[in-house]
Amino acid sequence: MTQDNENKHNFNKLNHVAEEVLADSTKKKSIWQTMLIPALAILTGLILGAVIIISTSEEVYTGFQQSFGAGLSASWSAVANSYSSLFKGAFGDPAYIIESLRSGDALEIRRALNPFLESLVVATPYIFAGLAVALGFRAGLFNIGVEGQLFMGAIAATYVGYSIKGLPGFIHMPLALLAGAAGGAIWGFVPGWLKAKTGGHEVINTIMMNWIAFRLTEWLLTGPMTRPNAGRIPVSPIIEKSAEIPQFFKAPIRFHLGFFIALAVAYLIYWLLFKTTWGFNLRTVGANPRAAKYAGMNIARNTIMAMTISGALAGLAGANQVLAINRSMAIGLSSGYGFDSIALALLGNSHPFGVILGALFFGVLRNGATKMMVTTAIPIDIISILQALILMFVAAPAIIRAIYRIRKPKAGDEAVVFAGSWGGNK
Amino acid sequence: MASTIIQRKKIETVSPTRKLVMGIVFVVISGLILLFFALNSEAEWITTFVMNPGGLERGLAGDWVLPTSLTLYVLVGLTLGMGIYQLLRGFGKQTNAILGVVVALFVFAFLTWAAGGKSLNLGGMLSSAVLLSVPITLGAFSGVLCERAGVVNIAIEGMMLMASMVGALVGSITQSLIIGLLASIAASVLLALVHAVLSIKYKINQIISGTVINIFSAGMTSYISAKFLQRYEYLNGPPIFPRFPIPLLADIPIIGPILFNQNIFVYAMFILLIVLQVALFRTRWGLRLRSVGEHPKAADTLGINVFRTRYMAVLLGGVVAGIGGAFFTLGSVGRFDEMMTAGKGYIGLAAMVFGNWTPIGSFGAGMLFGFADSIATKLSILGTTIPPQFMSMAPYITTMIVLAGIVGKGQMPAADGEPYEKE
């Protein structure tokens, strides 16, 4: 191709991309269309989850030994028991809620609604972490290092939380949150910088950064940041009262301000991505770096910025957990938020509002599963299986379409699942 | 695309910056040995390296007794000499291998210093390093197979985890090592098949497909473990492959007890190393496989079935990862614990990158990472003040440095991670 031709080609491409990126922010797709695949993915995931519950239940096997009918009814009751206790665990017992509403006692109502409030509490770090992954996707980057950034954010927030004393709450708490964002941002900046300057792929680098973060945390919690008189347990000192994110009600209700901070941050990210030039540039770089380069956009700067902000969001997830819930830092801070958030960002089509919905769903799932484990002895790990299946179906809508005989939508109508390559965009 | 590959090669052999950077790296390492170890040791220190792993009657060797600071100064001189030669003349194509030697000398210097005035069982340490490197190296081999054919596989961790659980479960029920191992491989291959179908047929992002498998494996193995393995002890007690000294080879002093008095997983690693290295780079089969990873369209034009080649590569990768997973339960511990692979699959990925997507390089990197692990566990015994966590971080940091191209740009297969669309 001659230089002239190539320029022309790039120019056409650029126009096309710009149209697409613009259309993405203005076109009003029907809600039904956008939600169909995720909804069916969730449904299919739950059905397969039921199959797993049935096939690992001892009652079912003893039932089938007696008779076929007994086996079927045992299967049904195994699934019904688990999913109903998951539902009750996540939203509260409907009978109890109605009763409490009738009695009109404020305390009773709060207690009856607590399972749902707890689901929101569990969803909060998911919102931050999901936003981190989603922002990366929009910029064409795969941030698989949310877990490590979350740890660094938590460490930084904890340090500011316990080492500074005597500040008023309205300064100390935001300061600790900012420290958390900064901690995560540094951990996101490094792979972003490496990608922009050396082309080192962010997936490998963020995986490496994850493990460096885990080891660093281990060392800090057993060494410089260890709690005095805690023996050899790797745990940090407890943060100051002034650094805590306030909870709205008395214990055991843990619903806290962090949830609303998460919503506000989600709106901020939405505004940044879809209402500012910066966001437009970022999305163009993500959609087609070559065209973006031709248009004079600075790809390196966009990459670094995107990874840094993504890291900051992940750091907020960690800071939120420490400041609102745990009040100190321990090794087992995160139970896989980083990897789950990849699933929920895709579930939410990498859109901040979609991320909120996805996070609420995952919060409900995890909180419900915790209760389900107590009442039905089904290990909480079932939700990881569900999340993996849902992620698979969302990422490969062709499977869902084949199962439910849905016709292929017109080109461009379907949410484009981020599909970059290992070698980056050469 | 083909032209870019040729260009890259040309740049690599003549790049003066890289030659310079490597020379400086060697000199800096030499300086580090001088500063931290040589100047920090007492003149009368004697370092004793015990070269027998213990519990053996064959291949015995005498202890190495070295005057600490003299040894250290010799090491300073050696590394400095290599640095100066690199700066003046350059090692050319051998540069990466020399880097490996320099790093090994640095580690040796560290051990000499740390064991100054004491004795250290270097033989035992190396022997355990070989064992620790098995899952890393096998994971890296699995990655090499997949990525050379153009399929990125970050699911190695998940495949190994599943394989280790299934191996423990089946091995416990049947009390048979062979059936346990075969079950491990089958489980891993099944997940590899899922990865292959998702990424080759459905063309979904290969990293997402890998993430699916990793989350699924973590969930499924923990689920089965909590529901069955932890509750019924007889389901979690598989037999373990015993050590099996190879006749004659095990009698070689020093090398024998370290390399040839191990279990079959270690030997499988050696055999796979040779087989893969030859198959990938010296046979028509390997050429085809690599061409699919470099330029699938050209390969297709020449009549190579891109899809079938990729399926085969990913499934073979599954077999190798399955053996690596079985090592955890059937080759070392003899029981399954939740999340017991502890990121070894990811380190395997790192070893693959470090080893420049070749079996021999992956093997070297795997050994180095295994040795770092082995040192990390012994650091406290040596009584140094260096936190073991920092030692464990070393593989990750070196991988990032290698990836950044500071010590020579790796040559990733050109079409790695790109789904192939037949026109």
Q: Per the domain annotation, does B398 fall within a domain?
A: no
Q: What is the pLDDT of residues A161-179, one digit of tens each?
A: 998 888 888 889 999 999 9
Residue in A closest to B231 by C-alpha: A377
Residues A271 and A268: their CA atoms lie apart, in Å, by: 5
CA B403, distance to chain mean position in Å, is: 16
pLDDT at B5 exceeding the cut of 50: no
Residues B250 and B227 occupy one common structural domain: yes
B349-357 average pLDDT score: 85
Quick check: A78 contacting B, CB < 8 Å?
no
> What would the two tokens of residue B113 be?
């210093």
In which residue are the tokens 């890296």 written? B140
Range from B156-165, B167-176, B348-357 carrying the lowest mean pLDDT: B348-357
A290-307 average pLDDT score: 86
In which residue are the tokens 């996070």 written? A359
Q: Please say which residue of B123, B140, B171 terminates a domain.
A: B123
Cα Rg of chain B (Å, integer): 23
Share in percent of chain B as helix, strand, coil (round to 5): 70, 5, 25
pLDDT at A196 exceeding the cut of 80: yes
| Type of residue at A363 | G
- On chain B, the residues whose CB falls within 8 A of the CB of A384 are 215-216, 218-220, 222-223
Residues B351 and B271 occupy one common structural domain: yes
Residues A47 and A53: their CA atoms lie apart, in Å, by: 10
pLDDT at B1 exceeding the cut of 60: no
CB spacing of B405 vs A346 below 8 angstroms:
no
Residues B153 and B257 occupy one common structural domain: yes
What pLDDT is stored for residue A2 in this prediction?
53
Residues A278 and A272: their CA atoms lie apart, in Å, by: 7
Domain containing residue B247: CATH number: 1.10.3470.10
Percent residues over pLDDT 70 in chain B: 91
Residues B106 and B192 occupy one common structural domain: no
ipTM, 2 dp: 0.83
Residues B147 and B289 occupy one common structural domain: yes
Q: Per the domain annotation, does B413 fall within a domain?
A: no
What pLDDT is stored for residue B399 in this prediction?
79
Residues B7 and A424: their CA atoms lie apart, in Å, by: 18
CB B400 within 8 A of CB A199: no
pLDDT at B406 exceeding the cut of 70: no
- On chain A, the residues whose CB falls within 8 A of the CB of B154 are 144, 203, 207
Higher pLDDT, A403 or B316: B316
- On chain A, the residues whose CB falls within 8 A of the CB of B353 are 204
What pLDDT is stored for residue A19 in this prediction?
66
CB spacing of B226 vs A379 below 8 angstroms:
yes
What pLDDT is stored for residue B48 in this prediction?
82
SS3 A235: strand
pLDDT at B10 exceeding the cut of 60: no
**Domains identified in chain B, total number:** 2
Q: Per the domain annotation, does B16 fall within a domain?
A: yes
Q: Which of B215, B347, B400 sits opposite A387 (nearest CB)?
A: B215
B313 pLDDT tier (thresholds 50, 70, 90): very high
Quick check: A418 contacting B, CB < 8 Å?
yes
Residues B76 and B143 occupy one common structural domain: no
Residue B83: closest CA among B34, B37, B31, B39: B31
The H helix count followed by the E strand count for chain B is: 16, 5
Residues B94 and B160 occupy one common structural domain: no
What pLDDT is stored for residue A11 in this prediction?
63
**Among A392, A418, A426, the residue to mutate for chain B (most B Cβ within 10 A):** A392
Q: What is the pLDDT of residues B34-62, one digit of tens each?
A: 888 888 887 788 888 887 776 666 666 77
Q: Per the domain annotation, does B421 fall within a domain?
A: no
What pLDDT is stored for residue A183 in this prediction?
95
Determine the structural domain holding residue B308 and report its residue range. Answer: 131-380
Residue B418: closest CA among B321, B308, B306, B301: B306
What pLDDT is stored for residue A410 in this prediction?
54
pLDDT at B12 exceeding the cut of 80: no
What pLDDT is stored for residue B310 in this prediction?
93
Q: Which of B152, B219, B222 sits opposite A422 (nearest CB)?
A: B152
Residue in B closest to A208 by C-alpha: B396
What pLDDT is stored for residue B409 in this prediction?
54
Residue A258: closest CA among A338, A133, A157: A157
Residues B223 and A378: their CA atoms lie apart, in Å, by: 8
Buried b (16+ CB within 10 A) or exposed e, B210-239: bbbbbbbbbbbbbbbbbbebeeeeebbbbe
| Type of residue at B416 | D
Q: How far is B394 from chain A (nearest CA, A)?
A: 9
Percent residues over pLDDT 70 in chain A: 88
Neighbouring C-beta atoms of residue A237, cutoff 10 Å: 18
What pLDDT is stored for residue A396 in this prediction?
85
Quick check: A50 contacting B, CB < 8 Å?
no
Residues A114 and A122: their CA atoms lie apart, in Å, by: 12
pLDDT at A68 exceeding the cut of 90: no
What pLDDT is stored for residue A159 in this prediction?
94
Q: What is the mean pLDDT of chain A?
A: 84
What pLDDT is stored for residue B55 in this prediction?
61
Q: How far is A85 from chain B (nearest CA, A)?
A: 18
Range from A253-262, A412-421, B28-37 carrying the lowest mean pLDDT: A412-421
B124-144 average pLDDT score: 91
What pLDDT is stored for residue A378 in this prediction?
86
Residues B173 and B70 occupy one common structural domain: no
Segment of A97-111, A241-255, B302-316 carrying the highest mean pLDDT:
B302-316
